[in-house]
Amino acid sequence: MKNQKITPQDPINQVIPCECGKSDCKRGLIITKYPEKKIKIRLFNEEGIGSVVVDKKKLMEQLKGLK
């Protein structure tokens, strides 16, 4: 996976816009693959972009707990 390149056409590299309901909201997130079974999550808003890299397995466990 270390040699795998993400391209703009990859569905996992698409922006997920904020769904807060405000018409002028410019927030969202981008989720991309990262080496060694990790996921990079980038959050952006009017002020800039912040990112975090997390273990894919731990992230999936957390998401399953949100049922």
SS (H, E, C) 2-35: CCCCCCCCCHHHCEEECCCCCCCCCCEEEEEEEC
Q: Where are the domains of the chain?
A: 11-64
Alpha carbons 43 and 66: distance in angstroms, whole number: 20
Q: What is the pLDDT of residues 27-66, one digit of tens each?
A: 999 998 899 999 999 998 888 989 999 999 999 999 999 9
Instruction: Match 């997390």 to its residue by tokens.
Output: 54
Residues in the chain: 67
Question: What pLDDT is stored for residue 9 in this prediction?
Answer: 59
Instruction: Supply the pTM of this predicted model.
Output: 0.72
